[in-house]
Amino acid sequence: MSFVWIMTFQGTVWGASLWNTYFSDSTLATRRCGFDEIVFADDLNAFRKFLNNTDNATILAQLTRCQQELHDWGSANIVTFESSKESLHILSHTDFHGSSFKLLGVTFDLQLIMSTAVQECATEGHWRLSSLLHCRRFFAIQDLILQYKSQVLSFLEYRTCAVSHAADSHLNILDAVQRRLLRNLNLTIFDALNTFNLAPLSCRRDIANLGIIYRSITNRGPLQLRKIFRLDTSLRRTSPRWCSHRFQTRDDTSSLHRDYINRSTYGYVRIFNLLPEVVFYDGENDGPIPVANFQRNLTQLLKLASHETERWEEIFAHDMLC
């Protein structure tokens, strides 16, 4: 949902602060209906979990009730709702309702297959790459790689954690963008990694998901993620032979269906807990190192593996534990 600003003008120095104060109690309306909410500026997304055996009519009735409560709040506070941006959705693998929607620039389908988001991203990525390759005769390979990282790779990876759980058949469409670059530059994935620090997109997705977990357990990520990924305080390092690192994370998904969990960020908890202690140090910080340094250490570990094993692209992948 989005709202029309009436009493607080956009663009003023105090506009944002006044709006946040004025708008903050809108969440009380959604919470009265048992919904959680995520607010970004003047956008509010309310959501609630239901059991699989709950019929859609009951769910839609609850959604409509929450919407009406928010409308009543708006009437009392002189806030007008933009009807074109209001929508109701039921996400389910089998019994979904509504149409695909965009959230922070990513298209979500109701089954969370993410095929539409991947296809849109790959199409735009190929277009950008084509524009870059048209000028390749004017640049050295190193310069082309830098241009690719800034103009294409940054765009492809914006959606990484939203699409990383998609099926391989969908992700291969996305990975084809970088494979096309390497093919045109006559580079192997080994040379791209070790010479130009350009890991395969699948490896970069693995490292990104591990970085999210590390950022959350060191209290640097959004509050919502910090509630999901937490340190396992039940473990005690009582022996110098203890082989696991000090950031062991709770895995609260052991009772859930692995097909839904393994490919998502939740599934990377098991990979994270098996990481060697060395990736959590940079030689300068006694406490938790920056997330960028943590991911850099993972990349260095990937480079070492590329010289020692044939399946080095999969050392951080969930498939290694299946």
Tell me the pLDDT tens digit for each residue of 243-287: 578 889 988 877 776 666 778 888 899 899 999 988 998 877 677
Q: What is the pLDDT of residue 11?
A: 61
Tell me the angle at which helices 201-217 and 168-185 cross, rounded to the nearest 10 degrees. 120
Taking the model in full, what pTM does it have? Answer: 0.83
Q: What is the pLDDT of residue 25?
A: 82
Whole-number Cα distances in Å, 64 to 72, 88, 170, 241, 274:
12, 8, 34, 57, 45
Closest Cα partner for 199 from 317, 47, 56? Answer: 317
Q: What is the pLDDT of residue 236?
A: 56
Reported as a pLDDT band with limits 50, 70 and 90, residue 237 is: low
| Interatomic CA distance for residues 266 and 260, integer angstroms | 9
Closest Cα partner for 44 from 18, 70, 22, 68? Answer: 70
Tell me the pLDDT tens digit for each residue of 30-74: 899 999 888 776 778 899 999 988 999 999 999 999 999 989 988
158 token code pair: 């914006």
Chain center to CA of 211: 10
Closest Cα partner for 293 from 303, 275, 276, 281? Answer: 281
Q: What is the pLDDT of residue 240?
A: 46
Tell me the pLDDT tens digit for each residue of 309-320: 888 999 998 766
Chain center to CA of 142: 29
Closest Cα partner for 182 from 171, 195, 194, 192? Answer: 192
Q: Are 163 and 215 spatial neighbours (Cβ–Cβ below 8 Å)? A: no
Reported as a pLDDT band with limits 50, 70 and 90, residue 152 is: very high
Tell me the pLDDT tens digit for each residue of 13-36: 666 677 677 777 888 888 999 998
| Interatomic CA distance for residues 61 and 288, integer angstroms | 47
Tell me the pLDDT tens digit for each residue of 122-151: 999 999 999 999 999 999 999 999 999 999
Tell me the pLDDT tens digit for each residue of 86-119: 899 999 988 999 999 988 889 999 999 999 999 9
19 CB contacts (<8 Å, ≥6 apart)? 5, 8, 41, 42
User: What is the bridge-based pairing of β-strands 80-81 and 101-103?
Assistant: unpaired
Q: What is the pLDDT of residue 10?
A: 57
**Domain residues of the chain, as ranges?**
3-98, 108-198, 204-321
Q: What is the pLDDT of residue 85?
A: 84
216 token code pair: 């959350």
The phi, psi pair for 239, rounded to 5°, reads -135, 145
Helix (H) / strand (E) containing 43: strand 43-47
Q: Are 185 and 191 spatial neighbours (Cβ–Cβ below 8 Å)? A: no
| Interatomic CA distance for residues 238 and 162, integer angstroms | 38
Whole-number Cα distances in Å, 237 to 78, 153, 207, 214, 233:
57, 40, 26, 19, 11
| Interatomic CA distance for residues 158 and 153, integer angstroms | 9
